[in-house]
């Protein structure tokens, strides 16, 4: 399959089945947000996440006695996926190359742009025309690191806060410079043994208290997010598009490749998410 054919024409879009390996799969691999959150897909313009605010009551019942009925209290949050896109200008020769490696090069470039923008929004605050991220969420649990993390105590506190909210932390995420600083911390004075652990099956993956520590440049330096996957949702619309236009750059024999996808974030249980940072 070539991205374009040699026939005359203007703009056309790739078929949906072609977009998976070219755009969708690389974005899901490159985006930290899509790796640490629960990912839901939808064809709708809105995605509703139910929230249980009050459980149905229970009681000890005498044999033969009637069981009292109480109703659980439900609420919901509505996630509206917003459009994010990337544009690459490539040579006609590359666009017409049928080699899988050439197609992968095009797809990876666009996927990287989208993944970077998605993560920036996810770990950020409010985004113009986009979904609001973790820094905008009210009610997130916090741990004040006082500027220096010298042991695993702040991480243990984060785990406890999440567990108190009924969640289990599955990932820690920090800026690469923060991960480097943590990697230099030793278990004790005079020891060369690092504080961070490693999974023998994945030697490049750092761990804190047995939980993966993932680097992301989208996180503010000094911050660490403790994320419970079950309590953080990323919604992907199924209408991913990749449009190809060979007319706009006609004089330079180039082709415009534009990819768009719609993404939204849902944080139904803010207290289960923990931010380790220097409190103002």
Over residues 143-176, the pLDDT tens digits come to: 999 888 888 899 999 999 999 999 999 999 999 9
Mean local confidence (pLDDT), 42-49: 93
**CA-based nearest residue to 217, from 135, 118, 129:** 118
Q: Has residue 6 got a pLDDT over 60?
A: no
Position 9 scores a pLDDT of 47
Q: What is the mean pLDDT of the chain?
A: 83
Q: How far apart are the first and last CA of the chain?
A: 55
Round to whole Å and give the CA distance between 209 and 244. 47
The length of the chain in residues reads 280
Helix (H, G, I), strand (E, B) or coil at 266: strand
**CA-based nearest residue to 87, from 239, 237, 241, 234:** 241
- Beta strand spans in 123-219 (E): 141-144, 171-174, 197-199, 202-208, 211-215
Mean local confidence (pLDDT), 206-232: 95
pLDDT band at residue 198 under the 50/70/90 scheme: confident
**CA-based nearest residue to 204, from 179, 228, 185, 186:** 179
- Choice between 198 and 177, residue whose per-residue pLDDT is larger: 177
Q: Has residue 7 got a pLDDT over 60?
A: no
Q: Has residue 99 got a pLDDT over 70?
A: no
- Residue 189 is classified by DSSP as T
Helix (H, G, I), strand (E, B) or coil at 55: coil
Position 272 scores a pLDDT of 96
CB 85 within 8 A of CB 182: no
Superfamily per CATH, domain 11-52+70-273: Major capsid protein gp5 (3.30.2400.10)
Round to whole Å and give the CA distance between 241 and 220. 31
Q: Has residue 41 got a pLDDT over 60?
A: yes
CB 91 within 8 A of CB 109: no
Helix (H, G, I), strand (E, B) or coil at 38: strand
Q: What percent of the chain has pLDDT over 70?
A: 78
Q: Has residue 34 got a pLDDT over 90?
A: yes
Max distance between CA atoms of the chain, in angstroms, equals 87
Q: Domain map of the chain by residue range? A: 11-52+70-273
Over residues 80-95, the pLDDT tens digits come to: 999 998 887 777 776 6
Exposed/middle/buried for residue 126 (C-beta within 10 Å: 0-12, 13-18, 19+):
exposed
Mean local confidence (pLDDT), 249-260: 76
């Amino acid at each position: 399959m070539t991205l374009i054919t040699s026939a005359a024409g203007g703009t056309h879009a790739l078929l949906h089945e072609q977009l998976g390996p070219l755009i969708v799969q690389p974005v899901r691999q490159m985006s930290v947000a899509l790796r640490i959150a629960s990912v839901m897909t939808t064809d709708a313009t809105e995605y509703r996440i139910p929230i249980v605010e009050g459980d149905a009551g229970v009681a000890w019942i005498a044999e033969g006695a009637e069981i009292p009925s109480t109703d659980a209290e439900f609420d919901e949050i509505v996630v509206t996926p917003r459009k994010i896109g990337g544009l690459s200008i490539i040579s006609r020769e590359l666009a017409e190359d049928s080699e899988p490696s050439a197609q992968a090069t095009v797809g990876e470039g666009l996927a990287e742009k989208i993944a970077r923008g998605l993560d920036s929004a996810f770990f950020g605050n409010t985004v113009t025309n986009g979904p609001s991220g973790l820094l905008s969420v009210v009610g997130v649990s916090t741990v004040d690191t006082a500027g220096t993390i010298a042991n695993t105590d702040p991480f243990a506190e984060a785990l406890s806060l999440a567990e108190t909210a009924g969640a289990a932390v599955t990932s820690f995420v920090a800026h690469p410079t923060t991960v480097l600083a943590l990697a230099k911390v030793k278990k004790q004075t005079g020891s060369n043994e690092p504080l961070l652990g490693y999974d023998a099956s994945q030697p490049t993956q750092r761990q804190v208290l047995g939980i993966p520590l993932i680097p992301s440049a989208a996180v503010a330096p000094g911050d660490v997010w403790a994320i419970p996957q079950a309590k953080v949702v990323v919604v992907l619309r199924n209408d991913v598009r990749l449009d190809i236009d060979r007319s706009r750059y006609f004089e330079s024999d180039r082709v415009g490749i534009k990819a768009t996808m719609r993404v939204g974030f849902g944080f139904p249980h803010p207290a289960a998410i923990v931010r380790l940072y220097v409190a103002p």
